[in-house]
Amino acid sequence: MGRASSVAVDRTLAALADPHRRRVVDLLAQRPRAAGELARELAISPPAMSRHLKTLRISGLVEESHPEFDARVRIYALRPEPMVHLLRWLEESERLWSAQLLAFKAHIETAAQTGPDA
């Protein structure tokens, strides 16, 4: 384990690497929005937004739905699961890094006990 979920995290990171897509995630974290609405807010063309949304959908970061009153518009909503995996990876890295610091500190203290400049 740890390596098994790596691929999914890689996909999530690749999806979030584009600034436009990250901005979309920011907006969808507030509330779900229609594709056209997102395109207007980011000032990019509808086709460009459509592609970004496709990328996000494939990565699992967003999901698509239709409002009941108009089947032409597509509502996109955030799907936090991939972000949770990413969060876990970050926390694990932080944990390991902290362990490094502790080990270093212990090393220094041991050296001090053995006697400085031994």
Chain contacts with its own copies (rule: CB under 8 A): 6, 9-10, 13-14, 16-17, 19, 22, 25-26, 29-32, 78, 80, 83-84, 86-87, 90-94, 96-97, 100
Which CB, 16 or 49, lies closer to its own copies?
A: 16
CA 73 to chain centre: 26
Specify the residue for token string 């390991």: 96
Considering the complex, what minimum distance in angstroms separates the CB of residue 80 from DNA? 20
DSSP 41-97: HHT--HHHHHHHHHHHHHHTSEEEE--TT-TTS-EEEE--HHHHHHHHHHHHHHHHH
Residues in 68-97 at the binding interface with DNA, rule: CB under 7 A: 69-74
Residue 116, helix vs strand vs coil: coil
Binding to DNA by CB under 7 A, coded x per residue (else -) over 23-62, reads -----------xxxx-x----xxxxxxxxxxxx-------
C-alpha span between 84 and 90 (Å, rounded): 10
Which CB, 51 or 85, lies closer to DNA?
A: 51
Point out which residues bind DNA (CB under 7 A).
14, 17-18, 20-21, 34-37, 39, 44-55, 64, 69-74
